[in-house]
Each structure stands twice: as C-alpha cells, then as structure tokens.
C-alpha cells in the first residue's frame, strides 16, 4: 500500500471516528435535568400533582391543621434548549476535531440547572393553599460550597 493511500485511509478513519463518537459535552447536555412545571404550585392544585412533578417532599409536618412541606429539586432545561445544546456541541466537536470538549465539558458542568427549594402549604383537602420560594442556588455553586466546608 502506498503512503498516499495509507494517509487517505487514516484520514477517513479519523473522520468516521469523530463523527460517530459522542463527546462528553454532548452526553452531558442530553442528560441535563428536565424543566419542572412550576404551575403545579398554583392555588387549588392537588398535592398528588405537586409530588408527581417535584418528587417526594424533603420535610413534611402539620401546622394549625394544614400540611406544610418542603420540596427541593433541580430546575433543568426545556427539551428545545437541551436539543439545541446537543446539536451545538456535536457540530462544534466535529468542526474542531474534538477540541471543543476543552470548553464544552466545563460549560455543561457549570450550567447544570438551579437547585430550588419551595415551602408549600396545603389546605384540608390537600390542595395548594400557598407557596414560598426558600432558596435558589446554581448547582455548581452548591458543589463549590460543599467542597469548601
């Protein structure tokens, strides 16, 4: 096999490898948490709908005949946002022959949603009576704070 043919085969192999392998940023973007529907906090919505959207409460107690619960969850991104990020990272990976991962992977690690905590008060029928945002922290800030302590 001539040297010219060997170079062509290696170039084709490299191109196929780059096009068929998913970079870390692409995978991370596709695995970002989904956006939660905050409208389940509207007055009159049943507790079952709140649990279905946010998961089980981290704390629950009764005060003055009303159930008071704390929900903590990761607020993620819409499907359109996640899809566009996957496409962008994929194209950037191909265009840069994988060098985009140096920027894309840390970016996806940083933009991984916000950790939200809500206090929700339910009436006697287990419907939302009121809610209050207790905290909103970017997940990457939480990780930095945990390491610092």
pLDDT grade for 2, boundaries at 50, 70 and 90: confident
Higher pLDDT, 139 or 44: 44
- Among candidate residues 86, 82, 78, the one with its CA nearest the CA of residue 35: 78
Residues 131-147 pLDDT 10s = 999 988 765 554 444 43
- Among candidate residues 149, 146, 148, 85, the one with its CA nearest the CA of residue 113: 85
Instruction: Look at residue 124 in the predicted model and tell me its pLDDT.
Output: 93
As a whole number of angstroms, the distance between CA 45 and CA 126 comes to 9
CB burial string 81-101: b at 16+ within 10 A, e below:
ebeebbeebbebbeeeeeebb
Distance from chain centroid for Cα 117: 16
pTM over 0.75: no
* pLDDT over threshold 50, residue 111: yes
Q: What is the DSSP string of 32-78?
A: SPBPP-GGGGSTT-BHHHHHHHH-S-SEEEEETTEEEEEEEEEE-B-
* pLDDT over threshold 80, residue 86: yes
As a whole number of angstroms, the distance between CA 56 and CA 67 comes to 14
């Amino acid at each position: 096999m001539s040297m010219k043919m060997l170079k062509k085969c290696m170039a084709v192999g490299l191109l196929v490898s780059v096009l068929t392998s998913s970079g870390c940023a692409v995978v991370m973007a596709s695995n970002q948490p989904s956006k939660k529907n905050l409208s389940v906090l509207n007055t009159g919505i049943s507790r079952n709908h709140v649990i279905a959207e946010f998961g089980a409460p981290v704390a629950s107690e009764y005060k003055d005949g009303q159930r008071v619960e704390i929900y903590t969850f990761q607020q993620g991104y819409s499907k359109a946002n996640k899809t566009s990020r996957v496409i962008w990272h994929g194209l950037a990976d191909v265009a840069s022959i994988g060098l985009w991962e140096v920027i894309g992977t840390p970016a996806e690690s940083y933009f991984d949603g916000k950790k939200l905590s809500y206090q929700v008060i339910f009436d006697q029928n287990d419907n939302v009576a009121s809610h209050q945002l207790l905290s909103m922290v970017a997940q990457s800030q939480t990780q930095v704070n945990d390491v610092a302590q």
